[in-house]
């Protein structure tokens, strides 16, 4: 008897496995001790797959920024495991964390955090300086990133010569210039008007379509609705890990 593969079998495509890029396992972050102890994160479990476009919502003080800072390797948890691209980074030292951050992550904040004395181009070139890229390539790649966010004609402007939306786009260019796997943004549209908010969201959408995993904290339902998946925090815990835009409309999420 011969072992043959039936035609039907060979036509069934293998399901493409979703690969995990971020996995938080039993993450705790505790500030202070005794009477003043605050459990900013209280046993958080969360998995995000490569290519997802995800927003994080929840009341003020619920632990969103604390979680983002840990995901972004800007801070370490008090307990638990954080696997970033399958490496447990939870207790890495500062130097190793900085290295991972530079290689794999881009970060955008509400308050742009650009260096005022540098031009847009110089601000975007900075992360590559730390990554040891030569000066010609730094300039080329920074120009390319600024072009990608629609600022090819603003390379030599300093932050004070740019609008809020333009400054946030410079910050996005800086976050993507090292070609991160994950782009993290903590209330990136919090300081922007609605038109500029949409410009920033359009850029995030394009970056996500090009393959970058995007995770964004927002207080604005109309911003969260444009992402594929909404994670809801309350009291340092993830209380909903996979809401959709329509869930948000139906639920008085609490
Ligand atoms: N450095 C710190 N020291 C002590 N407590 C802190 C510190 N940072 C945050 N916390 C506390 O941890 C909890 C979570 O704070 P976090 O900043 O993560 O909330 P958030 O969800 O981002 O809130 P918001 O929507 O207002 O930005 C809060 O109770 C906060 O007061
Ligand atoms: Mg916050």
**Ligand 1 within 6 A of CB of 253:** no
User: Is residue 68 lining ligand 1, measured as CB closer than 6 Å?
Assistant: no
* Confidence at 16, pLDDT banded by 50, 70, 90: low
pLDDT of 27 strictly over 80: yes
**Ligand 1, atom 5: closest residue by C-alpha:** 31
β pairing state of 213-217 and 182-186? parallel
Q: Which residue has the tokens 């800086």?
A: 174
What CATH number does the domain located at 18-250 have?
A: 3.40.50.300
Average pLDDT over residues 110-123: 96
Q: Which atom, in ligand 1's list, is nearest to the CA of 31?
A: 4
Burial of 74 (0-12, 13-18, 19+ CB in 10 A): middle
152: CB partners within 8 A, 6+ apart: 143, 146
Greatest pairwise CA separation for the chain in angstroms: 78
Q: How far apart are CA 140 and CA 29, in angstroms?
A: 40
Measured from the Cα of 32, ligand 1's closest atom is 4
Nearest-atom number in ligand 1 for the CA of 187 is 27
Distance 70 CA to ligand 1 centre (A): 13
247 against 76, higher pLDDT: 76
Mean pLDDT of the chain: 92
Global pTM exceeds 0.75: yes
């Amino acid at each position: 008897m011969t072992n043959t593969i039936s035609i039907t079998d060979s036509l069934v495509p293998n399901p493409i496995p979703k690969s995990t890029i971020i996995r938080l396992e039993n993450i705790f972050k505790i500030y202070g001790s005794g009477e003043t102890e605050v459990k900013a994160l209280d046993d958080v479990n969360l998995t995000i797959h490569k290519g997802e476009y995800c927003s994080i919502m929840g009341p003020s003080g619920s632990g969103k920024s604390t979680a983002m800072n840990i995901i972004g390797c800007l801070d370490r948890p008090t307990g638990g495991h954080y696997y970033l691209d399958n490496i447990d980074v939870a207790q890495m030292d500062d130097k190793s964390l900085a290295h991972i951050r530079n290689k794999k992550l881009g970060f955008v904040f509400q308050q742009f955090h650009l260096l005022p004395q540098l031009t847009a181009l110089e601000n975007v070139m900075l992360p590559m300086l730390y990554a040891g890229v030569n000066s010609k390539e730094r300039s080329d790649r920074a120009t390319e990133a600024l072009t990608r966010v629609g600022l090819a004609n603003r390379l030599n402007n300093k932050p004070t010569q740019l609008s809020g939306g333009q400054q946030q786009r410079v910050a996005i260019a800086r976050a993507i210039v090292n070609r991160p796997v994950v782009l993290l943004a903590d209330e990136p549209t919090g300081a922007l008007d609605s038109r500029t908010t949409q410009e920033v969201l359009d850029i995030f959408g394009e970056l996500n379509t090009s393959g970058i995993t995007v995770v964004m904290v927002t207080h604005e339902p109309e911003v969260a609705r444009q992402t594929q998946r909404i994670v809801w925090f309350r009291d340092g815990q993830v209380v909903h890990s996979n809401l959709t835009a329509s869930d948000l409309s139906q639920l008085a999420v609490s």
